[in-house]
Chain A
Amino acid sequence: MPRPGFYNDNAYRAYPFIEYSGETLPYGLIVDAGFIAGLDCGFDSETHTIWIDTVVVTAAAVEITFRTDANDAPLVFSFLRAVDEWTTIYSESESAADNECADEPIWSGFIVVGEVDKIVTTLAATTTFGQNFVIEPGRIQNLAKSYVRSINVGNYARLVVPPCDDAAESEVIDLENREIVINATCLKNKIRLKEGYNCRITQSDFVSTIFVTAARGAGQSFDEELCENHGEIPLDQNESKPAGSLFYSGGPACKDLIFTINGVSGKNVNIVGGSNIAVGVGAAPNSIKISLNSNLQGGCNE
């Protein structure tokens, strides 16, 4: 005796939904289904589900919307009422709008429909099911955490010395919340790491490991690019040097600093008032006042 096929069976039972007792969703409208929750779906197999939300029936077409509590994006299947029995229909949701690297759907899926034109006559123009009809967990593939989609490249903004003519206090930089200077985003397909200055890259195919180390003189040999920028590399094409500085990180060059006064060096050089001279703090910021002592007219000698 011939046995009914899988779709035949499902035309008379809840599958691919978990068994339900309601009569509002007629058996056989959907006889099989499968869903893929993508990287941006946020699907957690422990807590999230997928369910049929609405069925909209018009004179010529049917639109079935699925939803998940993992994401707000709906998954809509549209097809003609006159579609052949057991036709497979595919659908993809929109991509994640808040992620420029996402070019695949948030989630996607397929359904296999039964005798649509005959079955939808029992439905209203728009039927909303709430979350009563949940897809069997075995019909869901969760791609969360499953692959590396893209590589983005950037650098933490460098520490910059404030301009030297800035009379205000030095700027305090919060190291925990530095800006990231974006260099490139959403790199996909073939990606190669390249040795730059003082960089050595080795890889072990056997253990799928890449080693990146610093070694003086390794990698790219020193060239004019490094010298032109005084040992620094611009973080992007638009980076400019602070006014009055040769360096992207600002600050003076060695030749710009006062190392000695009258040949006297050291971490502290004292200016001492000798005979008839008073040395004190001036009224203006960062100023030293040197003035004649009031005893000058008293005939003091050397």
Chain B
Amino acid sequence: MAARLLFPQFRDEQSDSKYPFVDGATFTPRNTAAQIDKSAFKSFIDAVFYPIGGGHRLYLASVIVDELFTRLIVVDIAREISISAIYDWRNPPANNALNFFDEYDRPAGSIIAEVDSLNRFRGWGVGRYDFLPTATEFVATVVIPAKEPGVRLLQNVDDAVFFGDIWFIGDAGIVLRAATDGDINVIRIDIVGEPLFQRYVCANADSVFQPRKFVRTINGCPPDAYGNFTITATEKLLTGGTNDTPLRVYPETDSIFIAALNRSTS
């Protein structure tokens, strides 16, 4: 058992030290008039931060206390990175890990702290408590530089965010094609319209689209070069045709009249 005394468990050892804050952390809020129980920080056991975009010299910038939740905001020294965690005293985190996320809800790290410690924030009273880096800076070892090169996120005008393997899909007259130019992947965007686009849009409300059919031939015969189809009463234009027929075909405003007489045309 002597070994146990000499080597206390990690959580026991760290819960009584300033770690993961730097040794010089004062825990004094920016508004020095605010009376806070600084022991709330003492039971912080460990931390790990890996905010997208990197950042260095992270510190706890704000603690916002309301009736149900305590929100912790961690920023970097340049205040370019901001991540936050929300502690709900009614639902303490598993394994004492309070998880941080960035503004796009991406995982950004964790603070491991005793629940009792986190509950002490409620004793500060409802309000916002801001800190300077000198008060609550974290040790550098708990900050992991996140993967920096390349695009980390795409966002559209509706603020929807995309990550991982993303699809660019052309639709309704926009055609996307990939090619290469040396070692560069080129995505060409052609906007050529689509012949059925307008009806596609109109039909979209019904989620279905039924293309129309047009008359192209009558009895297998196409129109002439001007799109006119001629119905004649005689065959006189054909080889061996005759003019002798009682049929009459004549057009009117929007009709074709076909009649048969009791006499021929000749």
Are A13 and B9 touching (Cβ within 8 A)?
Answer: yes
Please tell me which one of the listed residues A12, A183, A300 contacts residue B177 in the complex, with CB atoms under 8 A apart.
A183
Are A249 and B196 touching (Cβ within 8 A)?
Answer: yes
Are B185 and A192 touching (Cβ within 8 A)?
Answer: yes
In the complex, whether A87 has a CB less than 8 A from a CB of chain B is no
Interface residues of A in 185-216 (CB under 8 A from B): 186-199, 201, 212, 214
A288 to B: closest C-beta gap in Å: 9
In the complex, whether B266 has a CB less than 8 A from a CB of chain A is no
Are A153 and B112 touching (Cβ within 8 A)?
Answer: no
Q: How long is the Cα–Cα vector from A139 to B95 in the complex, in angstroms?
A: 13
Are A255 and B225 touching (Cβ within 8 A)?
Answer: yes
Are B166 and A268 touching (Cβ within 8 A)?
Answer: no
A270 to B: closest C-beta gap in Å: 4
Are B214 and A150 touching (Cβ within 8 A)?
Answer: no
Contact partners of B228 in chain A: CB under 8 A: 258-263
In the complex, whether A238 has a CB less than 8 A from a CB of chain B is no
Contact partners of A136 in chain B: CB under 8 A: 10, 46, 112
Are B200 and A175 touching (Cβ within 8 A)?
Answer: yes
Q: How long is the Cα–Cα vector from A157 to B250 in the complex, in angstroms?
A: 46
Stretch at the interface among B21-29, B128-136, B186-194: B186-194
Are B203 and A274 touching (Cβ within 8 A)?
Answer: no
Chain A 155-187: CB-based contact to B (< 8 A → 1; otherwise 0)? 110111110100000111111100010011011
Contact partners of B223 in chain A: CB under 8 A: 257-260
Q: How long is the Cα–Cα vector from A257 to B12 in the complex, in angstroms?
A: 86
Are A273 and B165 touching (Cβ within 8 A)?
Answer: no
Chain B 21-57: CB-based contact to A (< 8 A → 1; otherwise 0)? 0000000000000000000000001111010100000
Are B260 and A276 touching (Cβ within 8 A)?
Answer: yes
A234 to B: closest C-beta gap in Å: 8
Contact partners of A233 in chain B: CB under 8 A: 175, 177, 190, 192
**Given A136-B10, A190-B185, A170:B258 Cβ within 8 A:** no
Please tell me which one of the listed residues B6, B165, B194, B218 contacts residue A158 in the complex, with CB atoms under 8 A apart.
B194
Q: Which residue of A lies closest to B169 (CB)?
A: A154
Interface residues of B in 192-212 (CB under 8 A from A): 192-196, 200, 203-204, 207-212
A55 to B: closest C-beta gap in Å: 21
In the complex, whether A24 has a CB less than 8 A from a CB of chain B is no
In the complex, whether A101 has a CB less than 8 A from a CB of chain B is yes
Are B184 and A148 touching (Cβ within 8 A)?
Answer: no
B159 to A: closest C-beta gap in Å: 13
Please tell me which one of the listed residues A148, A192, A275, A292 contacts residue B162 in the complex, with CB atoms under 8 A apart.
A148
Stretch at the interface among A14-22, A56-64, A71-79, A121-129: A14-22
In the complex, whether B115 has a CB less than 8 A from a CB of chain A is no
Number of residues from B at the complex interface, CB < 8 A: 110
Are A180 and B169 touching (Cβ within 8 A)?
Answer: yes
Contact partners of B230 in chain A: CB under 8 A: 261-262
Q: How long is the Cα–Cα vector from A169 to B144 in the complex, in angstroms?
A: 63
In the complex, whether A83 has a CB less than 8 A from a CB of chain B is no
Chain B 216-252: CB-based contact to A (< 8 A → 1; otherwise 0)? 1110001101111111000000000000001111111
Contact partners of A2 in chain B: CB under 8 A: none
A259 to B: closest C-beta gap in Å: 3
In the complex, whether A151 has a CB less than 8 A from a CB of chain B is yes
Contact partners of A147 in chain B: CB under 8 A: 52, 147, 150-153, 163-164
Please tell me which one of the listed residues B96, B178, B183, B226 contacts residue A189 in the complex, with CB atoms under 8 A apart.
B183
Please tell me which one of the listed residues A16, A160, A187, A292 contacts residue B187 in the complex, with CB atoms under 8 A apart.
A187
Are B208 and A172 touching (Cβ within 8 A)?
Answer: yes
Are A145 and B107 touching (Cβ within 8 A)?
Answer: yes
Q: How long is the Cα–Cα vector from A101 to B106 in the complex, in angstroms?
A: 21
Chain B 98-125: CB-based contact to A (< 8 A → 1; otherwise 0)? 0100001111001010000000000000
Are B258 and A231 touching (Cβ within 8 A)?
Answer: no
Query: What are 29 A-to-B residue pairs whose CB atoms are below 8 Å?
Result: A49-B94, A138-B46, A143-B146, A145-B107, A145-B163, A146-B106, A148-B153, A153-B177, A156-B172, A158-B194, A170-B210, A172-B208, A175-B208, A184-B178, A189-B185, A192-B181, A192-B184, A201-B189, A226-B192, A257-B214, A258-B227, A259-B226, A261-B231, A262-B230, A264-B256, A268-B254, A290-B258, A299-B262, A301-B261
Seed contacts A142-B50, A173-B211; 7 additional CB < 8 Å A-B pairs: A13-B8, A137-B48, A138-B142, A151-B168, A155-B169, A170-B211, A233-B175
Chain B residues close to A by CB (< 8 Å): 3-4, 6-13, 45-48, 50, 52, 93-97, 99, 104-107, 110, 112, 142, 144, 146-147, 150-154, 161-172, 174-178, 181, 183-196, 200, 203-204, 207-218, 222-223, 225-231, 246-262
Chain A residues close to B by CB (< 8 Å): 4, 8-16, 18-19, 39, 43, 45-47, 49, 99, 101-102, 134, 136-156, 158-162, 164, 170-176, 180, 183-184, 186-199, 201, 212, 214, 219-220, 226, 231-233, 235, 247, 249, 251-252, 254-264, 266, 268-277, 279, 290, 292-293, 296, 299-302
